[in-house]
Structure 1
Amino acid sequence: MLPLRSLANLCTFLALDLPLFSAGKYINTTIVIVSNNDLNPSNTNRASALFLKSSMTCEEAQQSCGDLQESLLPAPISTGLTAENLTTALTSERHGAALDLNQNIWIAGSGGCTVFTVGTSHTYETDTDTSPDLSSRYPALCTNSAPLTRSNVTSYDTSRQIEVSTPSAGVLRGFRDKFSFRFLGIKFAKSPAGAGRFKPPIALQVSRDTVRDALEYGPRCAQPPNVDNGHMVWTEEDCLQLNVYSPIVVLGGQAEQSTSKLPVMFFIHGGGLNHGDSGPFPYNMTTSGYVGPSTSNIFDGTNLVSYGGVVLVTINYRLTTLGWFNASNAALKDALLALQWVQDNVEAFGGDPTRVLLYGESAGGFMTRYLLGTNPKYTEGLFSAAILESDYGTSNPFSSPNVALNTSLQLAKHVGCASNSSTSLTGSDVECVANVSAGSLAIASFNLGIAWTVVVDGDYVLNDIAGSIMDGICARVPTIWATNQCEYCYFLPATLAPDSPPSSFISELPNYFNETQIQRILNQPELYPYETASSSNGISGAVLQLAQLLTDWFIRCPDTNLASLEANTTNPGNAYKILFAVGLGSTITPNPATCLGQVCHADELYLVFATAETDNLYQPLTDFQVAATQETIKRWTSLAWTGDPNYEGAAVQWPPYTGDNEFVLGSTGSIQPYRVDQCDFIRTQLGLVYGDGTY
C-alpha cells in the first residue's frame, strides 16, 4: 500500500506465443485483462479475467495463475463473465484477439482443470464423460480479484504487481486493477534542474535489467498556486515522468511483429501552461457546491483502455517559467521526448508505435497545436492522429523570439536578475535566473500574469499554426477540433452577477475588444441578441450571450477556422469538428453560478475518460450520461484505431468538416451548421490572428 498521488464492447487482445517459463517470477506470456466493461457503474455484472496467451498444461496453468495471486477461472455462469460475452471478447477482431471458435482454454474444473471451448455454453466436463487430457497445452483464463481503482481514498491497492521489461526504461514494476495494468510515475528524462534548466531534456537511459518501481504517481512540476493543486506552491523540477495504462502486458520480451497491437492515446494535461498534473489532485467543489476535502483523478485510464481497446500514456512537462523562459520551447521538447519514449517502449504494454493519437485539453490542446505545427522533421512518425479539446488558438498565439525574450526580460527584472532600465535579455541575466529557486520563478510568473506560449524559433517551429498549415510544414494527420457549448461561461469575471441586465453585455465588451470591434458587434444584434435572449437556470440572456460571444471569439471560431483551413489545404478529408452539447462538471474547474445548466470549459473530460465513476461523482449516472460517455470514447478511440471517428455501427456518420457540418454531441449526435454566421462574422469583421507575425 502507498500514499495516494484511478458497447458493450468487450476487450481482449492477443500476441504470438513466447517461450513459456523465464528465470524470473512470472511465465513468459502475453497477459490480457478481458472484460465485459460497458462503462455503466450501475451494471453489477461487470467483471474481468486474466487471459494468458501461451499454450501450457493444466499444471502449468494452475501455477501461472497462482504466480499472479489468482486461480483458474471458474466455469462461466449466467452473470458476470458468461460463455457468450467471453466468446465475444475472445473472438473480437476490433480488440486484437480474433481467436477462432472452438479454441480450447484451461479453466477451473473438478480435476483441477477443465476446458472452456470458445463459442460454446458448456465446459468439457459437462459435454463429455471423460476428463480432459491434463497434459494438453492450451491458453488459460485466471480470475482477476483486483478492485477497480478509486480516487477519493487514502491508499491504492498495489499488491497485484507485475514486472515488464522494456528496451530503454528498464524493468518496470507496476500493478493491476479490475480493468487495467498501471505503471505510474515513470521518469523519461534526467532532471532538468541545475545545468539542465531551460535546456532540452535529456533522455533517461536505463539498463534492461534495472528494476524500477512504477507504483506511484510522480511529483508535480514546479507551479504556482491554483484550484487544481491545493492552492500551494510546488517546487519540484525532477518531474518529467509519464504514466501507462493498458489492458495488456508482454512478459519475457517484445511481441513479434505479427502480434496484434493496440493503438496508443497520448494525453497532455491542461492548466494554462502554468499549472496542472497528470495524476490525482485535491478539490472541494463540484457543480453541486462544496463537497469537502476530496481527491480527483480525472485522467485515470482504467475505463478508457478497457472499453476502447487502447494503451493510454499521460505525461508531465515543465510548466510556467521552467518550460518557456529565454524562448527555450523546453516544454515542447519535453513532449517530443515523451513521444519518443513511446516509440521505444510501448510495445511492452501491447501498444502499436505506428498508431499514436496525440491529444490534450485546454493547455494540453495548446501543446497539441504546437506539436501539429512543429517542423515535421522532429515529429515524423511520432503520432498518427490528433485531438484538440478546448484549444485557445488566437488568445494563445505562436510568438516571435523578440516577444518571448521581452517577456523573459520582464521576469528577469522582477526577480532582480536584470536592471529595470535593461532593454534586452543578456546571457548573464539568463544565468542569474537559472540560479533562482523554482518556486520563486513560478510565483514570479504568477504575480506578473505571464501567458507563456510557444516560440517560432526557426528550427523546431517555423511559422504560426495557420501559416504552417497553409505552407504544408505541419503534421498532416487526421485531426478532431473539439469545443464545449459554453466554454467561457466558466471564465466570466466573478464581479458579473449571473442575472445581470442587458447593459452588462455592453459594459463588459471593452475588457475584450477595441472600439471598432465593439461597434461591429453591436451592429449585429441578430448574432448576439443580448437584449432579447431568454434566461436559463438563473443566468440572464445578456450574460449567456456575452459568454457565447467570448466562447466564439476565443475558442470555437479560431478552432473552426483552423479545421476549415486544414480541410481546404493540406489535410483534405481528415479534419473533423465537434461541439460537446453534453458534459459533467469538472473538478478541475469547479463551476461558478454562470455555468449552471451549461457545458463549460473541461466539462467533456468525464466523458473522454469515463472517470466520474472512479471519482465517485454524479452517481448513479443517467442512461443519457452513460450513452454520451460510450459515444465519446468510441469516437475518440476509433480515430486512434483507424484515423476515422466513425466506428462500426455508429448511428450518425460524422463527415470531414467542410464549414457547415459540425458534429454536435448529445447522447449520440447530429450534424449541424452550428453558429456558422457568428464565425463568419468573427473571421471577416473581428479578425483571427494565430501569431504576432514578426518572425
Structure 2
Amino acid sequence: MALTRITSRYAALLGCLVTLPSFVLGWATYPDTDVVIVSNNDLDPSNANRASALYLKSAFSCEEALLACEQLQETLLPAPNTTAGLTAQNLSVALTSERHGAALGKTQQVWVASDAPDNCGAFTPSYQYSDVGYALDTNVDFATLLPVLCTNSAPLTRSNVTSYDTTRKIQLSTPSAGTLTGYRDKFTFRFLGIKYAEPTNGSARFRPPTALTVEPETERSALQYGSICAQPPDADNGHLLYSNEDCLYLNVCSPVANSATNSVQTAPKLPVMFFIHGGGLNTGDSGPFPFNMTTSGFVGNSVSNIYDGTNVVSYAGVVLVTINYRLTAFGWFNASNAALKDALLALQWVQDNIESFGGDPTKVLIYGESAGGVMTRYLLGTNPVYTEGLFSAAILESDFGQSDPFLSIPLAQNISLKLAQYLGCASNSSTTFNDTMAQCVQDLPAGDIATASYNLGISWSIAVDGDYVLTDIASSIMDGDYARVPTIWASNECEYCYFLPSTIAPTANASVFPEYISIGFNTTGAQAILNATDLYPYQTAPSADGISGAVLTLAQLFTDFAVHCPELYLASLETNTTNPGNSYKVVFATGLGSPLTPNPETCVGQVCHADELYWVFATAETDNLYQPLTPGQVATTREVINRWTSLAWTGNPNYEGAVVEWAPYTGDNEIVINATATETIEPYRVAQCDFLVTQIGLIFGDP
C-alpha cells in the first residue's frame, strides 16, 4: 500500500499499518479513526487567537500518532501555550464539553507534541488549568495507546473565491448514501452536493421524489455544491434562468466525521439543524450566489454563502443540513405538493445517515427563512403520519402566512390552469384544469415553464390533498393534528420596508398611504384601516432615516398583516389550544442588511426582510461584510445562535447563562431582540394585531 506526502522520517513506519488500519481513496490514505474538530471559536472575527485542532478518537502509540497526523496532512499539535490560540484552558474546555463531539474525561491523556523533535507528550484536559501554565507529561511510555491531537492547518471558509480549498479530504461511510469524500476547513467538516433523490425530469416531473439508492461501498465525491434547481432570474441567483431538474442535493456541515471502520461513540450525539432556504418558493439555493449590493448599498461584485455552517456548527456543537427542493411550478403544479415531499425525503435521509456525521436523529430542528419559513409551516401542518419522528423542534423566520396559504385542490388547480393557458396547453376559454393540460405542460422545456411562471407573477402554495395535507395550519393546530413540537415564530421589525413597490419614493407624502393600501385590502378593509389613526397614524407619524412617516406606516401595516400578526396569532393559538408551553414569538429590532435583499431605499436604517440571517448563521465574516463586527454585533450573533441551537439541544431556547428568561407566548409577551443583544419582553404591536384579526381577518386557507 503506497503512501504519499510522507516524509522519510515516517517511511520506516510503514509497518505500523498493521496496527494502524487505514483506507485509501485515490492518492490519499487516511487513519482509521473518527475525527472531531475542536476549537475555541467565539464568533468574533477580530479575535486573532481563534484556532482549532483535530482530535483522533482511536488509541495510538506515539509513532502511530505521528503517522496518523501525517496521513491527515498535519502534525502532532504543539503543546498548548498560555497566551494565544489553543491554550491549555480553552482546549480543555473544548475537549471535555459534551456539546462538541469529544466529551473527554478530565483524567484522559491525549498525545500532543513535546519540545523534543518527533516526540510525544501527554496532555490531560482539566477545567482547573489557568492561563499561567499546566503540566505536560513527557514520561509516558511511547507504546501507550492514547487518542491524539493533530494540528488543523485548513483555512476558514470564505465566500468570494473561485473555488474552495478541498485538499484536506476526509472519507466516511454512510448507511444509505454510500462512502462520501468531503473536506475540512478551519472549524468544520464539509460534505457538499450530496444527491438524495433521482432526477425529476421527464415522467418524474411534478411527481413525488424517488430516493437515490446507493450501495454502501459506492464512493461519492461531496466536494462541491450541487446544481441549482430550475427557476427564473432573481437577485438570489445572479439574475439567470436555470433549467436543471437533477437538483435534489443536500449539504452537511459538522465538527464530527465518524470515519472509523468500527466507530465507537462515547460522546453525546449532536442535534441537527435542518435549514430550508428562501426565495418565495420560486427561486433560491442552498449554496453560494453572486451579488453586488446589500441594504447598505453597492459593495462591488462578490459572492455570498449566507447559509454556510462553519461558524454556527463549531460554536454551538450542532450538525447543519441545508437542502435544495423543487421550486416554482416544479414544486407545486397540479396540486402535486412535490416540494413538500422533497423536504420530507431529505428529512428521511437525515434519519438514515446523520449519525455518520455525529448527528442525533432524535434531535432534528427544522427551520427556514421567508419561503423556508413557509416550508417549515407546511411541514408543521403536514399529516403527522408522514412527519412523526422526523423532527423535534421548529423555527419559522419571516413566514408569510397570508401570502402562501393552504389551498383547496380546485383553487390550486386554477393556478395551474393559468400557467397552462399561458403556455398554450389550454384555451383561454377553459375553466377547468385536466390531465391533458397537465401532460402538455409536463412535456415542455423546463426553462419555458420557469419563465412563464415568472412572467405571470404566480404565487404558488400548498394544496390540501386529503392525504399529506388535511387542512390549513390554523385548523390543524386547533384540531391537534399537526407536529406539536417546540416552536419559535420570528419576524423582523419592518419586513415590508423591503417589499414596497419601487414606485414609492422614500419621502412620499401622506397621500401614498390611502393610495397603496388598496394593493392588499378591499374597500371596506381599507376604510377601516384609514379610520384607525391611533394604530396607523400615517398623517402624523414621524419620518426616520430619510423615510417619511407615511411610507414607514404603510410598510408597518403590510408587515403586520402579512408576517407579524399571522405568526403572533398562530403562536398564541398553539399556546392556548394544543401545544401549551412550547411556542415562542420573537421580533428582531436589529439586523444586518443581507445580499438577499439588495438595497431598496426604503430599508435604510430599518430592520428589513432577511436582515436576521447574519445573526443566525454568523456568516457576515465569511461573506466579508460589516467587518470588523462591533462588540454589540458579536454579542447579538452569539445570543441568537445560543437561542436557536438551545432549542435544538433541549427543546427550550433558554440556554444556561441566559440573562433574560424567554417565556412561551401567551398574548402580550413577545421577545424583542434589540441591538447589543439586549432583550425586552413586551406586548409588541398587539393592538394592531387584534385590530387586523377582528376587523380585517386573517386567512390561512382558501381566501
TM-score by length of 1: 0.95
User: What residue number does 1:227 align with?
Assistant: 235
Are 1:450 and 2:449 matched, yes or no?
Answer: no
User: What residue number does 1:16 align with?
Assistant: none
Are 1:91 and 2:91 matched, yes or no?
Answer: no
User: What residue number does 1:12 align with?
Assistant: none
The residue identity in structure 2 corresponding to 1:50 is: L
- Verify the 8 A CA contact 1:20 1:29 in the aligned structure 2: no
What is the CA-CA distance between 1:532 and the residue it aligns to? 1.5
- Verify the 8 A CA contact 1:298 1:611 in the aligned structure 2: yes
User: What residue number does 2:701 align with?
Assistant: 691
Percent identical: 66
Are 1:79 and 2:84 matched, yes or no?
Answer: yes
SS state at 2:564 partner: helix
User: What residue number does 2:122 align with?
Assistant: 115
Alignment of 1:10-25 (within 5 A): 21-24=21-24, 25=29
User: What residue number does 1:472 align with?
Assistant: 480
- Verify the 8 A CA contact 1:107 1:113 in the aligned structure 2: yes
The residue identity in structure 1 corresponding to 2:474 is: A
Are 1:681 and 2:691 matched, yes or no?
Answer: yes
Alignment of 1:32-431 (within 5 A): 32-77=36-81, 78-109=83-114, 110=116, 112-119=119-126, 127=135, 131-253=139-261, 255=263, 259-431=267-439
What is the CA-CA distance between 1:233 and the residue it aligns to? 0.6
What is the CA-CA distance between 1:663 and the residue it aligns to? 0.8
The residue identity in structure 2 corresponding to 1:686 is: I
The residue identity in structure 2 corresponding to 1:43 is: N
What is the CA-CA distance between 1:122 and the residue it aligns to? 10
The residue identity in structure 2 corresponding to 1:102 is: T
- Structure-1 separation of matches of 2:159 and 2:421: 42
The residue identity in structure 1 corresponding to 2:499 is: F
- Verify the 8 A CA contact 2:88 2:134 in the aligned structure 1: no
Q: Of 649, 652, 655, which aligns to 2:657?
A: 649
- Structure-1 separation of matches of 2:69 and 2:264: 24
What is the CA-CA distance between 1:467 and the residue it aligns to? 0.6
- Structure-1 separation of matches of 2:688 and 2:603: 21
- Structure-2 separation of matches of 1:471 and 1:601: 32
- Structure-1 separation of matches of 2:477 and 2:137: 69
What is the CA-CA distance between 1:28 and the residue it aligns to? 2.8
Q: 1:127 to 1:44 in 2, by over 3 A?
A: closer
Q: Of 447, 454, 459, which aligns to 1:439?
A: 447
CA deviation profile, 1:403-453 (whole Å, cap 9, x unmatched): 111111111111111222222222221111111011100001011111000
TM-score by length of 2: 0.94
- Structure-2 separation of matches of 1:371 and 1:128: 52
What is the CA-CA distance between 1:543 and the residue it aligns to? 0.8
- Verify the 8 A CA contact 1:254 1:348 in the aligned structure 2: no
- Structure-1 separation of matches of 2:205 and 2:221: 26
What is the CA-CA distance between 1:231 and the residue it aligns to? 1.0
Q: Of 544, 558, 563, which aligns to 2:552?
A: 544
SS state at 1:431 partner: helix
Q: Of 637, 642, 648, which aligns to 1:640?
A: 648
What is the CA-CA distance between 1:129 and the residue it aligns to? 9.2
Alignment of 1:606-625 (within 5 A): 606-625=614-633
The residue identity in structure 2 corresponding to 1:106 is: W
- Structure-1 separation of matches of 2:678 and 2:58: 40
What is the CA-CA distance between 1:402 and the residue it aligns to? 0.2
**Larger mean Cα displacement after TM superposition, 341-350 or 258-267:** 258-267
Query: Structure 2 stretches of 5 or more lacking a match?
Result: 1-18
User: What residue number does 2:601 align with?
Assistant: 593
Number of positions where the alignment pairs a residue of Structure 1 with one of Structure 2: 674
CA deviation profile, 1:478-527 (whole Å, cap 9, x unmatched): 00000000000000111111111112112111122111111211221111
The residue identity in structure 1 corresponding to 2:628 is: P
CA deviation profile, 1:257-304 (whole Å, cap 9, x unmatched): 765100000000000010000000011112332222211000000001
CA deviation profile, 1:103-152 (whole Å, cap 9, x unmatched): 211001215211111127599x9958963210011111000000001001
- Structure-1 separation of matches of 2:664 and 2:362: 23
The residue identity in structure 1 corresponding to 2:104 is: L
- Structure-2 separation of matches of 1:221 and 1:407: 21
- Structure-2 separation of matches of 1:219 and 1:516: 47
CA deviation profile, 1:179-234 (whole Å, cap 9, x unmatched): 00000011000001111011000000101111111100111100001111111110
- Structure-1 separation of matches of 2:171 and 2:78: 26
Q: 1:358 to 1:278 in 2, by over 3 A?
A: same
Query: Structure 1 stretches of 5 or more lacking a match?
Result: 1-18
The residue identity in structure 1 corresponding to 2:106 is: L
User: What residue number does 1:11 align with?
Assistant: none
SS state at 2:464 partner: coil
- Verify the 8 A CA contact 1:261 1:351 in the aligned structure 2: yes
**Larger mean Cα displacement after TM superposition, 278-287 or 379-388:** 278-287
The residue identity in structure 2 corresponding to 1:677 is: A
Q: 1:68 to 1:551 in 2, by over 3 A?
A: same
SS state at 1:510 partner: helix
The residue identity in structure 1 corresponding to 2:685 is: R
- Structure-2 separation of matches of 1:348 and 1:129: 33
- Structure-2 separation of matches of 1:257 and 1:469: 38
- Structure-1 separation of matches of 2:103 and 2:661: 26
What is the CA-CA distance between 1:256 and the residue it aligns to? 5.1
- Structure-1 separation of matches of 2:474 and 2:484: 13
- Structure-2 separation of matches of 1:529 and 1:394: 23
What is the CA-CA distance between 1:670 and the residue it aligns to? 1.6
User: What residue number does 1:4 align with?
Assistant: none
The residue identity in structure 2 corresponding to 1:672 is: E
CA deviation profile, 1:575-616 (whole Å, cap 9, x unmatched): 000000111000011131110111000000010000000000
The residue identity in structure 1 corresponding to 2:239 is: H
- Verify the 8 A CA contact 2:209 2:345 in the aligned structure 1: yes
User: What residue number does 1:29 align with?
Assistant: 33
**Larger mean Cα displacement after TM superposition, 475-484 or 414-423:** 414-423
SS state at 2:394 partner: strand
- Structure-1 separation of matches of 2:679 and 2:35: 36
Alignment of 1:432-581 (within 5 A): 432-581=440-589
The residue identity in structure 1 corresponding to 2:702 is: D
The residue identity in structure 1 corresponding to 2:695 is: Q
Aligned structure 1 segments of 4 or more residues deviating by more than 4 angstroms: 120-123, 125-130, 253-259
The residue identity in structure 2 corresponding to 1:21 is: P
- Structure-2 separation of matches of 1:263 and 1:122: 31
The residue identity in structure 1 corresponding to 2:335 is: A
Q: 1:464 to 1:367 in 2, by over 3 A?
A: same
- Verify the 8 A CA contact 2:248 2:325 in the aligned structure 1: yes
Q: 1:350 to 1:588 in 2, by over 3 A?
A: same
CA deviation profile, 1:640-665 (whole Å, cap 9, x unmatched): 00000000000000001101111111
- Verify the 8 A CA contact 2:121 2:136 in the aligned structure 1: no
Q: 1:108 to 1:427 in 2, by over 3 A?
A: same
**Larger mean Cα displacement after TM superposition, 309-318 or 662-671:** 662-671
- Verify the 8 A CA contact 2:120 2:138 in the aligned structure 1: no
**Larger mean Cα displacement after TM superposition, 261-270 or 82-91:** 82-91
